[in-house]
Amino acid sequence: MCGIAGLIDPAGAPIPQAVLSSMLRTLAPRGPDGEGTWYAPGVGLGHRRLAVIDLSPAADQPLGNEDGSVQVVFNGEIYNFVELRAELEARGHDFRSRTDGEVLVHGYEEWGDAVVERIDGMFAFALWDERHRRLLAARDRMGKKPLYYVRILRSGAPPLFAFASELKALACVPGFDRSVDPAALARYLAYEYVPAPHAIFRGTSKLPAAYRLVLDLATAGVAEPRIDRYWDLPFADRPAGWSEDEAAERLRTLLRGAVARRLVADVPVGVFLSGGIDSSTVAAFAAELAGAGRVRTFSVGFSDASFDETRHARAVAVYLGTEHSEERLDARALLDILPTVTDFLDEPLADASIVPTYLLSAFTRRHVTVALGGDGSDELFAGYQTFRAEPFGRLFFDHAPAVARGLIERAARLLPARTGYFSLDFQVSQFLRGGPVAGPRRHQRWMASFLPEELGGLLVPEVLQAAGGDPLDDVDRRMRDGPARLSWDRLMDFYARFYLPEDVNTKVDRAAGAVGLEVRAPFLDTAVVEFACRLPVQLRQRRLAAKVILKQAMRGRLPDAILRRHKQGFGVPVARWMREELAPMLRDELAPDKLRREGLFQPDQVQRLIDDHLTGRRDRRKALWTLLTFERWLGRWGGS
């Protein structure tokens, strides 16, 4: 976990060092162990370091090649750096450190822009080639690490190009536009996050996962970046013909190797352990590789029993023989942390689980510098509730008579509005939002806070017009242009290209980055992802059983009770909070006069949502949490 930032002036004017220093100061929590900069005419690169591999000053960034003409700032880990280093040394390259990031500068000398295709890991980097006056930047295949960029218009000079790990760093650059982008706002309301390449600030972009960016000043002479995809999910026209036993053995081998690569560090390493199959699988392989009693596991629990998983985590820790630590929190602790989350979350994200993720990260960081987690498994092996809902969705929306659908919808409206975790009324209400569409678009409607047709009543007309069309068209374009052709592959592709990088990975990156913790995800190892892309559907989901192949792979290696457990997300009781402890904040942040001044949302519609929820007529948890999160973000980070 590090932070990177940079400024490039095509006119070649000196970069104001005070500006780059301000950018890096905002990234200090991501990299508490040191700061480095490098300047050349018209170029400034900056880095905040979290020391993980090679703790010596030789590994400080920016890192250069032998003559200093190539410089890189890098955030993340390259898991195949040992093999790449050996290959590059055999070709005559001289390394000055043991750090993984140094393979980027020598790899670029050897392979040019194709270096990004040779590295395997989680990363965002920016590499400057001084001889050829060009920048190469890239983001990893599965979007673990973020990279934002912007062209800042100036009078009488070509646009200044700026990049950074987080938006708050870009906001330090004079001339940065902090007004809300209507297209990004519409997408935030529909997805609960802002999907790449959009960013919440006007004129700013987010590099998508598996893309590289080239800024060639020698040829173009202006700061106009060119981006292209360097990798995609390798779906086949037909799935592999593995038997269940063969696939399980392959998966065990791949996961063992993925965990082994992510245990490499010169600092203490632990494992997030919730007691679900994903984190338990990672912990099991870590314990196998490191030896009994040499793995530390961490979990946080909550006083609300319907949201608490600690007893399952303890059972797994005892079974595996890990050194387990847990922290129990009440509702007050979760609520008290909201201002801190607002302060570090510089782009709105309506995933309430960022609150416990931050608390888990902070607790874990007291003991270790690196933690392994179970993220990615749900996307690869059909673990979400929406995958289980898919067959019912096809039956209900595609084949049930209209009369039957109408009766069920009317009956559903009579269900009392509960506030518990994934309550029945909430499940039914979200399911019915799927509508007469197919595949990934239906899944996004199931997950949405606001449907496209609801934005007209929520956004003021000027903002709605500026937003420009249906935000879910992004999903349709990906399905049309992407590599997946089989229906279940298309669902996996959707989650892996939208929800995973833009919600899950963003949540973990920001929460862990706020406390200087590095989190690694073995399930997102390239070899594991490629394996999952070739799986037949019956090894992902069989009838209503999810993660079939993962459970088969871990049979006998985890307690049967853990393999039988239904998925429970890392949730918090926002439905109850907004009727009780958060009700005053809800009214203040969404007050009609305040909304009118801001000119984004229609106050009457927002008030109807509040009244529905507070009176118990309807459960509006998702819509109101999404609006509340945005308003708190706007108050902290927005501007004109």
Judge whether 98 and 59 are in contact, CB under 8 Å: yes
Residue 320 lies in a domain: yes
pLDDT category, 280, cuts 50, 70, 90? very high
Task: Please give the structure tokens belonging to residue 55.
Answer: 């703790």
pLDDT higher than threshold 80 for residue 285: yes
The partner residues of 228 in beta bridges, in order of sequence, read 212
Residue 463 lies in a domain: no
pLDDT of residue 33: 96
pLDDT higher than threshold 90 for residue 577: no
Residue 128 shares a structural domain with residue 262: no
Residue 558 shares a structural domain with residue 579: no
Residue 118 lies in a domain: yes
422 three-state secondary structure? coil
Domain boundary among 564, 581, 597: 564
Q: How many CA atoms lie within 13 A of 212 on its CB side?
A: 20
Residue 601 shares a structural domain with residue 539: no
137 three-state secondary structure? strand
Residue 558 shares a structural domain with residue 589: no
pLDDT tens string 514-539: 999 999 999 999 999 999 999 999 99
d(C-alpha 146, C-alpha 124), whole Å: 6
- As a whole number, the mean pLDDT across the chain is 92
Residue 400 lies in a domain: no
pLDDT higher than threshold 70 for residue 400: no
pLDDT category, 416, cuts 50, 70, 90? low
400 compared with 84, residue with greater pLDDT: 84
**What φ, ψ does residue 265 adopt, rounded to 5°?**
-170, 155
Judge whether 320 and 287 are in contact, CB under 8 Å: yes
pLDDT category, 302, cuts 50, 70, 90? confident
Residue 471 lies in a domain: no
pLDDT of residue 149: 98
Residue 145 shares a structural domain with residue 171: yes
pLDDT higher than threshold 60 for residue 618: yes
pLDDT tens string 333-381: 878 888 899 889 999 999 999 999 999 999 999 999 999 999 999 999 9
Residue 515 shares a structural domain with residue 623: no
d(C-alpha 337, C-alpha 359), whole Å: 8
pLDDT of residue 239: 87
Residue 504 shares a structural domain with residue 529: yes
Number of domains in the chain: 3
pLDDT higher than threshold 80 for residue 407: no
Closest CA to 141 of 402, 610, 497, 453: 497
CATH of the domain at 79: 3.60.20.10
Judge whether 79 and 262 are in contact, CB under 8 Å: yes
Residue 441 lies in a domain: no
pLDDT of residue 34: 96
Residue 425 lies in a domain: no
pLDDT tens string 212-256: 999 999 876 666 899 999 999 999 888 888 999 999 999 999 999
d(C-alpha 191, C-alpha 187), whole Å: 6
Residue 60 shares a structural domain with residue 198: yes
Residue 407 lies in a domain: no
Domain boundary among 229, 252, 280: 229
Residue 23 shares a structural domain with residue 88: yes
d(C-alpha 312, C-alpha 558), whole Å: 12
Active site residues: 2
pLDDT higher than threshold 90 for residue 590: yes
- What pTM did the predictor assign? 0.95
Please state the length of the chain. Answer: 640
pLDDT higher than threshold 80 for residue 289: yes
Domain boundary among 508, 531, 564: 564
Expressed as residue numbers, the domain containing 636 is: 573-640
pLDDT of residue 619: 87
Residue 198 shares a structural domain with residue 335: no
Residue 546 shares a structural domain with residue 626: no
pLDDT tens string 459-504: 999 999 999 999 999 999 999 999 999 999 999 999 999 999 999 9
The partner residues of 329 in beta bridges, in order of sequence, read 302
Residue 61 shares a structural domain with residue 172: yes
CATH of the domain at 517: 3.40.50.620
